[in-house]
Amino acid sequence: MIIRPEVAQDRAAIATLIARTYGAQGAKIIEQTGELRALDVYRNDLSFIAESEDEKAVQAFSLMTPVAVEGKQVGVVLAPFAMNVYNPEFDVPAFFEAVFEKVEAAGFSHVFALGRLDDLSPLGFEYADAHGITLNEELDPSLLVKVFKNAPKCAGTVVFPQPLLV
């Protein structure tokens, strides 16, 4: 598996992955992804794809958008994530391990996500409120966080970008 930043030529394949991953919600997630890319904080080096080494086909996509906690930009929010649903052997944990290494190397210490702990705890996520971190909006899914080793203590309110608050 090769993991690299997305390039403009990947966008059609990414849209297909999102549509297949999210089904009826796919169009909304594709639009949301475009809105996240249009933000001032968007960084191309935090938008990752995985492609197979043999076919060079896009197998997964994950966008990490920088967010601030109490005014300090210490983390990123993971949204969206999409994968080739027709490749059940895709190694999701290995993909995220490599992505998280790149995120940490870019100077971030926290990865935030909205979701179920059962789904994300294998990737090292835990409830954010256990770290004294809350979200700037009341949303239905739980706010989760993965804190990198040697991360500075961080507590307070994380401010998610507007496209993720709908």
pTM for the full predicted model: 0.91
Confidence class of residue 52 from pLDDT cuts 50, 70 and 90? Answer: confident
Confidence class of residue 140 from pLDDT cuts 50, 70 and 90? Answer: low
Judge whether residue 7 has pLDDT over 70.
yes
Q: Report pLDDT digits (tens) over 58-102.
A: 999 999 999 988 878 789 999 999 999 888 889 999 999 999 999
Percent of the chain with pLDDT over 90: 65
Give 163's contacts (C-beta < 8 A, 6+ positions apart).
32, 35, 36, 39
Task: Give 2-165's CATH code, choosing from 1.10.3720.10, 3.40.630.30, 3.30.300.30, 1.20.58.220.
Answer: 3.40.630.30
- Which pLDDT score is estimated for 166? 64
Judge whether residue 141 has pLDDT over 80.
no
- Which pLDDT score is estimated for 88? 85
DSSP codes joined into one string, the chain: -EEEE--GGGHHHHHHHHHHHHGGGHHHHHHHHHHHHTSTT--GGGEEEEE-TTT--EEEEEEEEEEEETTEEEEEEEEEEEE-TT-TT--HHHHHHHHHHHHHHTT--EEEEEE-HHHHGGGT-EEGGGGTEEESS--SSEEEEEE-TTPPP--EEEE--GGGG-
Greater pLDDT, 26 or 151 = 26
Domains of the chain by residue range: 2-165
